[in-house]
Amino acid sequence: MNFMQNALDLAKIALDIGEVPVACVIVKDGQIIGEGHNLTTLMKNATMHCEFIAVKDAKSRNPEISFQDAILYVTCEPCIMCAEFLSLICIKKVYFGCYNQKFGGNGSILNLHEGKYESIGGIYQEEAVNLLRIFYEKGNPNAPPHKRHRVLGK
């Protein structure tokens, strides 16, 4: 089963509702145990990243859940905050789509995963970055004017 495709499908839903199209699923024993897409725009909260939402989702399904054997599939490299968050919950492994050249904590800006969890980037990165391109080319109506249109790199 291709879990990055599940994450991309969630990111497309985010795009459809005017949300930053970044999403993830958390997988354990071959099953999705938590999922989420960004809610930064709709909640007007810069910290509502999909990683926090998916972990909260997993905990709401099973409060005793442990993430030590869990794998995260996320369409964009976790930011510095989320990279450290993933370390704190002791995630086992992260697969991510496109790189996050501005805030990435899994290699692009900092290497917060090193010695903590395995991280592999560039999975379906073209699909992932294309969703972000569509979002930012249209312009984020909820962002401040100078942030409405972003030019995306690699």
Please, which of residues 46-85 interact with its own copies by CB under 8 A?
A: 46-47, 55, 59, 63-64, 79-81, 84-85
Residue 46: CB minimum distance to its own copies, A: 5
Residues that bind its own copies (rule: CB under 8 A) add up to a total of 19
Closest-CA residue to 20 (of 2, 3, 36, 4): 36
Residue 3 is a binding residue for its own copies (CB under 8 A):
no
51, 64, 118, 126: the active-site residue: 51
Contact region with its own copies (CB under 8 A), list: 4-12, 26-34, 105-113, 120-128: 105-113
Contact region with its own copies (CB under 8 A), list: 2-10, 20-28, 40-48, 127-135: 40-48
DSSP for 91-153? --EEEEEE--TTTBTBTTS-BTTTTT-EEE--TTHHHHHHHHHHHHHH--TTS-GGGSS----
Which CB, 90 or 134, lies closer to its own copies? 90
Between helix 80-88 and helix 50-61 the angle, nearest 10°, is: 30
Told to judge if 84 belongs to the known catalytic residues of this protein, a careful annotator would answer no
Cα gap 18→31, rounded to integer Å: 28
Kindly list the catalytic residues.
51
